[in-house]
Structure 1
Amino acid sequence: MKRVLMVTGWCLAISSVWVSTAAVAADRFAQRFALELESGAAYYSVTLPAAVYAASQRSDLGDVRVFNGAGEPVPYSLEAPREFSRAPATLHSVPWFPLPPAAAGRTGAPLGVTIATDGSLRATMAPPARAQHDSDLIDLGRETRRDARVDALVVHVRDDNYQGRVSVESSDDLRNWQPAGEAQLLKVSYNGSTLSQDRIELNDMRARYLRLRWVDGAPYIDSIDAQVQTTSAGPAQSADSQREWREGIIAHAGPKTGEYFFETGGPYPVDRLRLNLPQPNTVAPAVVYSRAGLEAAWREVSSATLFRLHNGTVEQSNPSLELASDTDRQWRVVVDTRNGGLGSGALTVAAGWRPATLTFVARGDGSFTLGVGSAGAVSSAVSRADLLMGASSVVVSARLGEPLPVEQYADSHSTGKDPDAMRRYMLWAALLLAVGSLGAIAWRLARGAQAPAGAQAAGGAGGAGGTGGSVGGVPGESGATSATVKDAGADGADGQSAGKN
C-alpha cells in the first residue's frame, strides 16, 4: 500500500508539472504592440484596430493582455460597442413641389411656391413638364422637432424602370443651402419581380427644407416619405462612423458552380458585408453562410438579390448586407446560376464591424504593451464597472502603436533574461526526477516479485525431503535434487511391483 501511495503521489506531481508547463506555454503571445499613453492617468482605453483581430486566435479576444514594463499583466476590461436604446423609426409622408430650372436658383420662395406665416409651402401653379423638371422642393414641416431627426427620405418612383443620381441640399430659410448628401435611385423590373433602391440616407437632418437636384433626369414620383427617428430614448451615435472595413477580400470559386468561398482572416465581429460583383449588368439571388472552422457545419446568415447595373455614367450596386455580429472566419456564398450566375471574374468582398474597446489600469512603471495571439489563453477581462470601481478618475484615450519585433521578446525569454526561466528549469527537473523515481520504483517492484517466487519453490522442495525424499538421512539441498531422488524412488517402487507380479 505504501508503494501504491508513492506511485500515486508521483503521478499527481507529474500531472501538475505538465499543467504548469502548459500554462507557461499559454503565456507566450504571437504579437506585441506598443501602447502610446499620456503620462499621469490611472485608466486608459484603446479601440482595438484590425491588426489585433487579425493576430487573435480566439473568437472572443480572450488572448488579449496588457503588460507593464516589468512584464506583469495588468487588470483590464473588454467591451463591445454599446447599442443605445432607441424608438423604432417611422415613415411620414411629406409634401414636395416640382421646380423648373429657373426656380431652383432663386432666393426666397421659388417660382410657383408661396410661404405661409408658419413656414409651410403652398403651390401656386401647375408643375412643370418633365423636360423642364430638374429639382424638387420638400417641406419637412413638423417632422423637424427638437426631439426628432430625419434619417432618410424614401422616394416612391412611378416609373417601371429608372436609374439616376440625386444630390440633396438643406436650408432653414430657403436662402442659404448646404449640401446634405447624395444617392443613386433604382427601380428595375426583373424576372417578374422588382429591384428597387429608393432610400436617400441623411445624417440626422434637422433642417426645415430639402432640395433634390436630379443629375440624370427627374423620375415620375408617386410620393415621398421622411423616415423620422425620435431621440428621447437616449443619446444617439452613428454606428456607420464607428465601423471599420476590411476591403479587397477575394472570394474563390468552389467545386460546385455558383459557390464562392472566402475567409475574413480574424475573429472580426462582422455585421456588414459588401459583395462586389465582377461584371456590370448582373442580377443574381444569393445566400450567404458562415462557420467557425472546418469541423463546424455551415449556417445561413443572410440572403439577398445581388446586382450591378450600368446606365451611361451611372452605376449602381446592391447595398451592404446587414448581419447579426458574426465572428466566424470562413464564409460561403451560393449564387443562383439559372440565369447565368455572376459570369467570369472574381467576386470581391468587404467586411465591416464595430471594434471593441479595451480599458486597463496603468499599474507599474515602464512602457506598456498589448499582447495577443495565444490559443491556450483564457480571457481574464473584468467588466468595466468592476475595473473602475466607481473611481472619479478620467479614462484617457491611448493609441496602439506599431507592432514590436518578435525577436525582441524571443531574446527576453532566453537564459538570464526570462523571468520565468528558473521556474521552467525547476519544473523540468521535477519532471525528470519523477520519471527517474518511477523507474526505480518499477525496478524494485520487479525484484520484489522475483524473490517470493524463489522462496516458494525452495519451501516446496524441503517438504518433499522430509517424507523420504532424502539420501543418507540428508535433506535435499536443492529443489532439483529432491525432485530427482523422489523420481528415482518412484521408479524403484514401480520395479518392485512389477517383479512381484
Structure 2
Amino acid sequence: MNKSLKKYSLSKSFIFKQLVLYAGLLWVTHIHAIDVNDFECGFSITEGEQSIRQFTLTEEIYPCLKQRQHTDLAVINNEGQVVPFRLTVPVQVVDRIPYKQSMAFYQEPVISAYKTGDQIRRIAQLTGVTSGSESDKQWQEKHVFYSSLILEKRDNHDRLKSITINSRNGDQPSSTTVVIEASDDLQHWTTLLRPNQLFFLPGSQADLHNNTFNFTVSKASKYLRLAALSNIEDFSQNIVSITGTYERVKNTPPPLQWFTVSQLEPLEKSGEWLLALPDLLPISRIRFTPASNIVFYQGSVYAQPYINSVAEADIKNIRKGGKEKIKELIKGAHKSRSTPEHSWRYLSSFTQYLLQTDTGYTASPEITVTTMQSKRWKFIFEQPQMLQADQLPKIEFGWQPPQITFIAQGSAPFRLVAGSAVAIKRIPFPNHLVFDKSIEAVEILAKITTDKKSSADEEIMPVKTYNWHTLLLWLVLIIGVTIMAVMAYQLAKKMGSDNN
C-alpha cells in the first residue's frame, strides 16, 4: 500500500512540476512582451542589415514622455517584445582625418650596421634564422646584414598608420626583406613590424610592387629604421621618396539643439520669474539674448524635478484595476505634477552680458547646468533695479539628443514606443558587444498614428482585446492548483484509511 501510494504521489508531483515549469516559461515570455496600446506614441525605425543598430532621439519624441530619465520608452520588435537597448548621451564626436606627408630618410653607413653580437642575435630572433652552435663571427660572415635607412617622422602626436616607399621604375627587379623599428634616441630600438618583403617587379604592361607597410601598433617615436636583410645600399639609390600616412584625431563636442521658450511669468517675490516648458527635454545649456539697452544680467537659475505624482500614487492600483485602469492612467499621466509644493533645485548662478568694444562685441559664455528634465524653471535676477517685463532677456535652452543603441533581435520592423504610466523594465545591454565599426546608423521616421475608434458605436462599446499569454498562464495555474488540491485530498483519504 505504501509503495503504491508513494508511486502515485511521485507521479502526481512530476505532473505538477511540469505544469509549473510550463507556467514559468509562459510568464517569462509574458513579461518580455508589452502592449503597444499602453504607450502614448509609437515611431517606426528605418530598416537595417547589421545586428547592432543606433539612432538619435528627435524632438518629436519628448511630448510623449511622462517619466524622467527616459524610463518610459522602449524598442520593440514585430512581436511586441522589448529588445536589449541602452541610452547614452555622446560626450564628444571623434573625427579621424587621414593625411600624407613626405618623410626624410638617411642612409646608415655599412660599418655601423649590426656589428655587435646582441644585434645579430636580435635580428636572428626576428627572422627565425638561428646561428646554432656557430660563433657570432662565423654566423655573421655567413649571414651578412647590410646597412639600414633611418626615417625621421614629423614632430607631432598624430598616429603613423603606414609608410610607402616610392622607387624609380627600372628594367631590373629589386627586392629586400626589411624589419621596421622605432627609436627616440637612435640607440634603443623597438620592433614595429616584423620581416616583410619589399619588392618592385617590372612587367610588360604594369609593374608589380609591394611597397606599403601598415602598422598595427603605434609608437610615438621620432625615428624609424628599415633594417635590411639584403643589400639595401644599392637598392636605396632608386628610392625617390618615402611617404607616411598619418591619422589626426580631432575630438569636438557634439552640436546642441537650441529652442526659444515663451515669455517669463512673474512670481510673488520681486525679481523671481517662472518659465514653463511643454516637454521633458534634457536641458544642459542656457543662453540669453539681452533686451534693448540692457547689456548685463546676473542671478541664479532653479528648476523643479519633474515628478508624475499621479502615476506614482496609482502604481499599486494598476495591478488591481487591470488593463482599463492602465489606459485611464496613461491618458491622464501627461499632466505635470511639478507643482509649487515640490522644492526648487538650485542649478547655477549666471552672469550674462553682451558688451560692445572698439573691436566689436564680447559675449559671455553659455550657462552650463547639470542635465535636467523639468517643466518648471525659475530665474532670479539680481539687478541694481528691478527689471520690467520688456527688459527681460530672450532665453534659449540647449539640449543634447541622446542616442539609443539596440540589438535587432526578433523579426522586423522595429519600433520605438514612448509614454507609459510606469517605468519600463529594460533588458540589460551587453556592453562588450559594442564596437565602433559594428554599429549601423538608422533613423526614426514619423510618428505612427492609429485610429483606435472608428465609429460612435465603438466609443460606447469598446472592442476588448485579449492577451492569450495571460489567459493561458492563468489556465495552467488553475489546473496546477486543482491537481494539488486533488492530490492533497486523496493523500489525506489514503492516510485515514491506513490508520483505520
Q: How would you bin the TM-score normalised by the shorter chain?
A: 0.3 to 0.5
| TM-score, normalising length: structure 2 | 0.44
Greater radius of gyration (CA)? 1
| TM-score, normalising length: structure 1 | 0.44
